[in-house]
Amino acid sequence: MPATSVLDLIGKTPLVEVTRFDLGPCRLFLKLESANPSGSIKDRPARAMIDAAEADGRLKEGGTVVEATAGNTGVGLALVASRKGYRTVLVVPDKMSREKILHARALGAEVIVTRSDVGKGHPDYYQDLALAITERTPGAFYANQFANPANPAAHEATTAPEILEEMGGDLDAVVVGVGSGGTLTGVGRYMRRASPKTKMVLADPAGSVLAPLVETGIMGEAGSWAVEGIGEDFVPPNCDLSLVAKAYAALPAIFCARKASSPAHPPGRCLRRRCAIAASRRRRSASSASSATAAPSTSPRCSTTPSWPRRAGSGARAPAPCAMSSSTATTRAPRFSFPRTRPSPRPSPACAPPTYRSCR
C-alpha cells in the first residue's frame, strides 16, 4: 500500500551484512538508517519529539521548533516540522558541514551558526544559545534532544525491535555512538528486556569524555575530535551509561568507506564499524558472534567537514594536516582552500587520499 505522507517512510530501514572485512568467525551487520527520508537515523526521534509536543500542548498551530543540533537531528526536525506547518530554527556549531546546513535550509529551516570553541555555560555554546532563542520567541518549543524523553522512547519503540526482528532474535552486541544518548538508551532498554544476552557497546571518538568515564569511572577533560554528531564534553541527561558493557575510544577509520565500496557510510562514522569489529572479536567463541551497528547518515553530508575542530576553551584550531588550511567564521559554514602544489602520486600514510581529505 503506498504511503500517504513522507513521514510514513520513517523507520523500517534495511539491515545488511558486512562482507568486505575479515571478521574471522564473527558476523557484522549495519542498520541502514541512511534510508530514512531526510537521510539519517534522527528522523525517528524528530518525529517522536514533535508528536509528543503536539500531544501535551507545548507545540501549537503556527508555533516554532527550536533545536541545538550537530545537523542530522535538525534536518529531521525541519522535515517533520515543514510537513506539519511549523517554523524551524536550528543552532549548529561552526564545525558542521555545509551540506547539512544547506539541506536544512532547503527544508525551510532558519540556521544559526555559532562557535564550537566554547563549552557549556557560555552564551555562544549552541545549546545555551538555542535555549535563549526559545525563551524570547513566542510560541516556541525547544526540542532539546539531549533531555527529551521522546528521543530514547522512539528508539525503544522502533529501532531496537526492528534490529532484533531482522536478526532473528539472535544478537550478541549492538554498537552505538552517543551524541544525545537517545539511541544508546532506547535500544539498550529494549535489549535488556527483550534480549538480555545482547550487550551494548559504545564507540566513542578519542577526545570525548564518555568512553573514559565508562572504563575508569573518572570524568576527564574533553579534547577535540573531527567526527560529527557523536562524542560529548558532558553526559547528556538522555544518556544512560549504565547500559554500556564495553566502551572504545578510537580515531576515525579514514579508509573504511573506500574499503566497503559504499557511499552510505562517511569515513568518520566508520569509527563505529571499527569498534563493532573489535566488540565482535572480543566476544568470539567456538561459535560465531554477531553484532549490529547503524549507518546513521550518508557521505555527501560531510564532504566539507573540517578536519580539525576547535578544542573547547582553547580559541584555536589544531595545525592543519596535509598542508590544508581553513578560514571559519561564526556566522557561516566553514570554507576551505587547498595548496596549488602538484599532488604527490603516492601520498604519505598520514594523509588521506585527495577524495577523502575534507571528510576526515
186 shares its domain with 258: yes
134 shares its domain with 267: no
Per-residue pLDDT at 289:
66
109 shares its domain with 245: no
226 shares its domain with 292: yes
Query: Over 90: is that where the pLDDT of 49 sits?
Result: yes
168 shares its domain with 31: yes
Number of independent structural domains in the chain:
2
Distances (CA, A) of 158 to 13, 148, 162, 193, 353: 10, 17, 6, 14, 38
| Model confidence pLDDT, tens digit, residues 242-256 | 999 999 988 655 434
Enzyme catalytic residues: 42
Q: Which of 300, 325, 344 is the last residue of a domain?
A: 300
91 shares its domain with 130: yes
261 shares its domain with 196: yes
Q: Which of 245, 275, 300 is the last residue of a domain?
A: 300
Per-residue pLDDT at 250:
80
31 shares its domain with 167: yes
Task: Classify residue 151: in a domain, yes or no.
Answer: no
DSSP-based three-state secondary structure for 249: strand
Per-residue pLDDT at 23:
82
The whole-angstrom distance between residue 236's C-alpha and the CA centroid of its chain comes to 14
Query: Over 80: is that where the pLDDT of 169 sits?
Result: yes
Interatomic CA distance for residues 38 and 11, integer angstroms = 11
Percentage of residues in the chain having pLDDT higher than 90:
55
71 shares its domain with 120: yes
Task: Classify residue 199: in a domain, yes or no.
Answer: yes
Q: Give the bridge partners for 248, in sequence order.
A: 203
**Dihedral Cα 121, 122, 123, 126, nearest 10 deg:** -80
Instruction: Say if residues 128 and 121 touch (Cβ distance below 8 Å).
Output: yes
Q: Give the bridge partners for 199, in sequence order.
A: 173
Q: Mean pLDDT lowest for which of 181-190, 232-241, 260-269, 330-339?
A: 330-339
Task: Classify residue 317: in a domain, yes or no.
Answer: no
**Domain residue limits at 283:** 6-36+156-300
Contacts 24+ apart (CB under 8 A), 338-344: none
Mean pLDDT of 37-49: 96
Task: Classify residue 290: in a domain, yes or no.
Answer: yes
Query: Which band of pLDDT confidence, cut at 50, 70 and 90, is reported for residue 230?
Result: confident
One-letter amino acid of 235: V
Mean pLDDT of 153-168: 97
98 shares its domain with 127: yes
Task: Classify residue 238: in a domain, yes or no.
Answer: yes
Task: Classify residue 305: in a domain, yes or no.
Answer: no
Please give the radius of gyration of the chain, using alpha carbons only, rounded to the nearest integer: 20
| Model confidence pLDDT, tens digit, residues 275-331 | 554 444 444 444 566 666 666 555 455 555 543 344 444 444 333 333 222 222 333
Cβ neighbors of 81 (< 8 A, separation 6 or more) are: 50, 65, 87, 88, 108, 109
Interatomic CA distance for residues 152 and 148, integer angstroms = 8
Task: Classify residue 339: in a domain, yes or no.
Answer: no
What region, left, alpha or beta, does residue 336 occupy, with left being phi > 0 and alpha being psi -120 to 50 degrees? beta
Q: Mean pLDDT lowest for which of 61-65, 180-184, 202-206?
A: 202-206
Per-residue pLDDT at 324:
28
What is the residue-averaged pLDDT of the chain? 78
Query: How wide is the angle at C-alpha 95 spanned by C-alphas 90 and 99, nearest 5°?
Result: 65
Task: Classify residue 1: in a domain, yes or no.
Answer: no
Per-residue pLDDT at 116:
85
Interatomic CA distance for residues 331 and 301, integer angstroms = 19
Q: Which of 113, 142, 171 is the last residue of a domain?
A: 142
Neighbour tally for 359: CB within 10 Å: 22
124 shares its domain with 221: no
Give the pTM.
0.74
* CATH number of the structural domain spanning residue 61: 3.40.50.1100
27 shares its domain with 164: yes
Query: Over 70: is that where the pLDDT of 124 sits?
Result: yes
Query: Over 90: is that where the pLDDT of 352 sits?
Result: no
Distances (CA, A) of 217 to 211, 223, 247, 266: 9, 17, 12, 31
